[in-house]
Structure 1
Amino acid sequence: MNYNQLKLPAGLHVRPAVAKDKVFLAQLHNEKRDDLRLIQGEKDFVESIIAMQLNAMDQGYGEQFPNALYFIIEYYNEAVGRAVLDFEHNRVHLIDIAFLHKARGHGLGEAVLRSFMYSASQLKVPMHLSVQQLNVAAKRLYLKLGFKTVEITAPYERMMWYPQAIVNSQAFT
């Protein structure tokens, strides 16, 4: 994927993650894990659990998806999110996408997703992802963009999106 050719609105940019992004990625992860802050216990203990979760996630992604590409999403040169994609031989796998709270609800996620879908359509391959069943907002967005649920294995749903070129060619088989 040539990330410089992604079709994104003004001010929105996707670039490869680099080592100096670790601080931002930790901030993003910490913000996403407010659920763990509900644990009864000392603050340092809870924060250590959140840090272990980040390390486990990074290690798990590395082991499960050794060829994955890690991206930072910027809005007017400020890091606001990240995406992890794996371009497999016959599909694009959106492993993870996350935004800071302040960047949500402004259409940035939809714009980035549409750009990834455009890349998949150029490759003539479907795109798939998994979403937590309780993440109603994300599921609503994926459905709006044309993703269909293909498998439910609680607590996740696996969803697929097929570019029109694939849909049209399958109509004649």
Structure 2
Amino acid sequence: MSGAQYTLTGRLAVALPPEAAFTLFTPRGEELWVAGWRPRFPMGTSDDSAPGTVFETGTDDELTIWVVAAREPGRRVSYARVTPGSRAGTVTVEVDADGQGGSTVRVTYELTALTPQSQGPLREFAGSYRDFLRSWEVDIARHLGSPPPAPTVRT
């Protein structure tokens, strides 16, 4: 056993109502604002957030296999993810109205290192999780053509 396991949760602001914000966290929706994000689907799918949908990201040295585990359309999506020889776990995104026409998005990563060699990189990811989500907030604002919001990421 590697002994490294983390549950990381944080929140960020998105200047869209929940239904529209939700689409930014689907596999194809993330292509709009995540540099280099290119999901590949082994089976054609018209609904990329339907439970059971499988897709891959990355390359041979950092290939990640994803499965949509659960979904409440417009509100919540959960993914199981495995990067062979490195880490495995889940990512859950929950979207709520912020009362001002936008959304508060809660993102939870639950990850386990699969090898002793992957403990360090996972520990580094955990240590920079707040900055990681802040980069999402900035990239989404840029995609929407709005100025980056004041830091709202909370863990």
Name the TM-score, length of structure 2 as normaliser.
0.33
**Which of the two has higher C-alpha Rg?**
1
Q: Which has the higher contact order (CA 8 A, sep 6+)?
A: 2
Name the TM-score, length of structure 1 as normaliser.
0.30
